[in-house]
Amino acid sequence: MVAQKLPPEPKALRVAIIGGGPAGLGAAIALSALPNVQVDIYEKAQVLREVGAGIRIGYNGWKVLELLGAADKITGHLKNSVTHRNGLNGNVVGGTGESSFPLQYQPRRVRRTRLQSGLVSTVPEGVIHLNKGVASIEDIFNGGVKVNFQDGTYTTVDLVVGADGIRSVVRDSIFPDHTIKFTGTTIWRTLIPITSVKDIGPEVYAGTSWWFGTAGHVYFSPVDDKNELGEEERQFEISCRNLVDPATDTTKRFSWGVPATNERVVSHFTDYDPRVREALSRVPEGNWKEFAAFAGPRLETLHGWDKVVLLGDASHPLSGAFGSGAAFALEDGWVLARAIEHTRGAPKGLAKALQVFDAIRSPYYLRMYEYLDGQKDKTQSAQQSSEDQSFEAKLKIRVSSFGGEKFLPWIYHNDIEKVWDEYLIGETSTNGVH
C-alpha cells in the first residue's frame, strides 16, 4: 500500500502578545486555538487588575465573547432603561428603552473585573507572564522580532501583537512619529455598594442615568445582575466627566487610574442637582480613580515590518469614544486569528495574514474617525445656531444628536463572524473563483 503524503505541517509560529487587557487576552484565546502556534502574553503589571469601574457590553461584545467561549462567564446589570437628564435640575431630556435582541445579546453594564476574569479563565494555562513590561522591540533583518523587556531580558518571536493600550510601546516602535494628546476630558470612576445610594431615590439607583452639566456629566449605573446577587452584594457605578480646553490646560495629566480625593472630584459638580451631589458624597474617601483621556490620529495601517500588528486601543487611540472599545479589542484578536489560519502555509503567509487583518479592520476604524469628525462639526454648528437658547434647550439638541445604538448599527450591531464570512466571499469573487 502506498503511504498517503500528508501536507507539511506549517512551521511553529511564535507569537508574543504585549499587554493583558481585553485585546491581549482575546487574541491569546483565539490564537491558542490554532494548531502549532505558541502564544505568550507579556504584561507589565504584577497582578492583572482592572482599575476602571464598569464597562458596557452590547451585541457586538457578546457576539465576539461567544466566539471566544467566554460569554457565559460574564454577567451584569441589564440596561433595559437609560435616562438622560439635565444634571443641574434633574429634568428628563431623553433616553432609550428596551433592546429588541434576545436576552443573551442585550446590553449590560458589567464590572470590569468580571470581563477580565471571564477572559483570563479562558486563556490556556502558562500563557500569561506578569511583571514583564516591554521596553522596546527590534526588527531582526531576515528574521523575527526581538522583544526587549524592562528587566533586561529579551525573547525572539515570529510575530509581535501590540495589545499594550493607548500608550503603546509597540506602536511607538513601528510608527515613531505618531503621538497622542490630552483631549481635555478628565474622568473619575468608582464602584460603591448599591445600598449606599438607595435612599436617594430610584431616579439615581434603579437604572442607568446620565446627568449632564455645562462642562461634563455624571453617570450612574448598577453593574450586577439582580438575578445573580442579593442587594447587599450588588455594586453601583459612578463615573463623572469634566471637560477643559486642552489648549490652555497646563496640569500634568496621567493616562490611567490614579487616586483622587473626594474634594477634588466634587469640586467639579457643585452646581449639580442635590441628588447628584448627595450620591457623590456617599463615596468613601480613597475610592475614586482619575483617568485623563488621551487620543491620537488614525493610523494609516495597523501593521509594520510584516511581523508586528496592533490591536485594541493601541491600534485606534480613540479614548473610549463609542463606549465599545473592549468589543473592538476582542474583535481585533478574533479576526487576527482567522487571518493567520487563512494564510497559514502560503508563501509569506504571515505578511499576508497581517494584510488581510488590515484590510478588514483599518476601514472600520477609518469609519469611526470620520464619524467623530462629522459629529464635531454638527455639534459646533448646532451650538452656534442655538447660542441664545437655554442650557436645557441646547442639551436637548446635544442629546438628540447622540449616535446611539439604533443609529450606529455598524458599530453596536456588528457581528464579527459575519464580517469575516463576507470578507471571504469578497476575496473569492475578486480572485475569480466562484
Ligand X SMILES: Cc1cc2nc3c(=O)[nH]c(=O)nc-3n(C[C@H](O)[C@H](O)[C@H](O)COP(=O)(O)OP(=O)(O)OC[C@H]3O[C@@H](n4cnc5c(N)ncnc54)[C@H](O)[C@@H]3O)c2cc1C
Stretch that binds ligand X, among 88-96, 301-309, 326-334, 420-428 (CB under 6 A): 326-334
Stretch that binds ligand X, among 120-128, 159-167, 204-212, 397-405 (CB under 6 A): 159-167
Q: Is 238 in the site for ligand X (CB under 6 A)?
A: no
CA angle 275, 279, 285 (to 5 degrees): 150
Q: Which is nearer to ligand X, 128 or 396 (CB)?
A: 128
Select from 291, 334, 357, 412 the one that contacts ligand X (CB under 6 A). Answer: 291
Quote the least distance from Cβ 64 to ligand X, whole Å. Answer: 11
Q: Which is nearer to ligand X, 215 or 382 (CB)?
A: 215
Select from 13, 16, 17, 24 the one that contacts ligand X (CB under 6 A). Answer: 24
Select from 40, 164, 331, 405 the one that contacts ligand X (CB under 6 A). Answer: 164
CA angle 188, 276, 183 (to 5 degrees): 30
Select from 29, 37, 43, 85 the one that contacts ligand X (CB under 6 A). Answer: 43
Quote the least distance from Cβ 169 to ligand X, whole Å. Answer: 4
Q: Is 31 in the site for ligand X (CB under 6 A)?
A: no
Q: What is the dihedral of CA 247, 253, 254, 255, to 10 degrees?
A: -20
DSSP state of 200: G
Select from 197, 276, 320, 362 the one that contacts ligand X (CB under 6 A). Answer: 320
End-to-end Cα distance, the chain: 36
How many residues line the site for ligand X (CB under 6 A)? 33
Quote the least distance from Cβ 268 to ligand X, whole Å. Answer: 15
Q: Is 317 in the site for ligand X (CB under 6 A)?
A: no
Quote the least distance from Cβ 239 to ligand X, whole Å. Answer: 7
Residue 34, exposed/middle/buried by CB under 10 A (0-12, 13-18, 19+)?
middle
Q: Is 174 in the site for ligand X (CB under 6 A)?
A: no
Q: Which is nearer to ligand X, 20 or 90 (CB)?
A: 20
Q: Which is nearer to ligand X, 10 or 133 (CB)?
A: 133
Taking the C-alpha atoms of residue 358 and residue 336, their distance in angstroms, rounded to an integer, is 9
Question: In sequence order, which residues have a C-beta less than 8 Å from that of residue 316 and are 6 or more positions away?
Answer: 298, 299, 328, 365, 368, 369
Taking the C-alpha atoms of residue 416 and residue 328, their distance in angstroms, rounded to an integer, is 10
Q: Is 13 in the site for ligand X (CB under 6 A)?
A: no
Q: Is 326 in the site for ligand X (CB under 6 A)?
A: yes
Stretch that binds ligand X, among 21-29, 196-204, 394-402, 422-430 (CB under 6 A): 21-29
Taking the C-alpha atoms of residue 245 and residue 250, their distance in angstroms, rounded to an integer, is 10
DSSP assignment of 90-154: --EEEEE----S-GGGS-EEEEHHHHHHHHHTTSPTT-EE-S--EEEEEE-TTS-EEEEETTS-E
Q: Cα 291 from chain centroid?
A: 14
Q: Is 40 in the site for ligand X (CB under 6 A)?
A: no
Q: Which is nearer to ligand X, 302 or 396 (CB)?
A: 302
Quote the least distance from Cβ 329 to ligand X, whole Å. Answer: 4
- Tell me which long-range contacts 273-278 makes (C-beta under 8 A, separation of at least 24): 273/85, 273/87, 273/88, 273/89, 273/90, 273/211, 275/90, 275/200, 275/201, 275/203, 275/204, 276/87, 276/204, 276/211, 276/218, 278/200
Could you give the string, one character per residue 248-287, with x where binding to ligand X holds by CB under 6 A and - elsewhere? ----------------------------------------
Q: Is 21 in the site for ligand X (CB under 6 A)?
A: yes
Ranges within 118-157 binding ligand X (CB under 6 A): 133-134
Cell numbers at residue 223, please? 453593574
Taking the C-alpha atoms of residue 210 and residue 191, their distance in angstroms, rounded to an integer, is 16
Stretch that binds ligand X, among 76-84, 87-95, 151-159, 310-318 (CB under 6 A): 310-318
Taking the C-alpha atoms of residue 421 and residue 427, their distance in angstroms, rounded to an integer, is 10
Select from 187, 339, 360, 416 the one that contacts ligand X (CB under 6 A). Answer: 187
Q: Could you tell me which of 377, 375, 378 has the C-alpha nearest to residue 403?
A: 375
Quote the least distance from Cβ 263 to ligand X, whole Å. Answer: 21
Q: Are 130 and 43 in contact (CB under 8 A)?
A: yes
Ranges within 54-113 binding ligand X (CB under 6 A): 55-56
DSSP state of 33: T
Q: Could you tell me which of 250, 274, 260 has the C-alpha nearest to residue 89?
A: 274
Q: Which is nearer to ligand X, 334 or 396 (CB)?
A: 334
Would you tell me which residues interact with ligand X (CB under 6 A)?
A: 18-24, 42-45, 55-56, 133-134, 163-165, 169, 187, 291, 293, 312-314, 319-320, 323-327, 329
